[in-house]
Amino acid sequence: MTIMPFHLAIPVTDLVASKTFYGELLGCEQGRSSENWIDWNFFGHQLVTHLVAAMPSHPAPNKVDNKAVPVPHFGVVLAMCDWQDLAARLQAANVSFVIEPYVRFKGEPGEQATLFLLDPCGNALEFKAFNDIGQLFAG
């Protein structure tokens, strides 16, 4: 099966801050845009930041490994070396993490490196990586 890019549209209240976050900090290439939205190449997927007057409210987070995982959230699975590079770049930029980079489910099926952060408008993102990508859907 060929995996095709996903398309995700998210709300933002500040397109300039979104340009800095997605374009400069995360290194996503900007695509088409207007005064109300920007397309991004989000690690090979199409992410669109749509300007809104106010952000929607979010439910309480879920507990995983005694950490408060924000719901909803989105992100990508990276190669481990790319995840390590991104984590180091974010730490060097003094990003405030929701959940600091760490290895989750260590020694168990689905062991993965993960980190959570918020974009400038409060959208939660997770970046993760597996040493064994075959563990992605492990039970």
- pLDDT, residue 35, reads 96
pLDDT tens column, 36-52: 999 999 999 999 999 99
Question: Who has greater pLDDT, 53 or 64?
Answer: 53
Token pair listed for 131: 């040493």
Please state, rounded to an integer, the average pLDDT across all residues of the chain: 95
| pLDDT of 139 above 80 | no
Q: Which domains does the chain have, with CATH numbers?
A: 7-135 (3.10.180.10)
- pLDDT, residue 2, reads 87
Q: What is the DSSP string of 17-53?
A: HHIIIIIIIS-PEEEEE-SSEEEEEETTEEEEEEE-S
Residue 80's DSSP bridge partners are: none
- pLDDT, residue 119, reads 98
d(CA 73, CA 11): 13
Nearest to 113 by CA among 94, 125, 100, 97: 100
- pLDDT, residue 105, reads 87
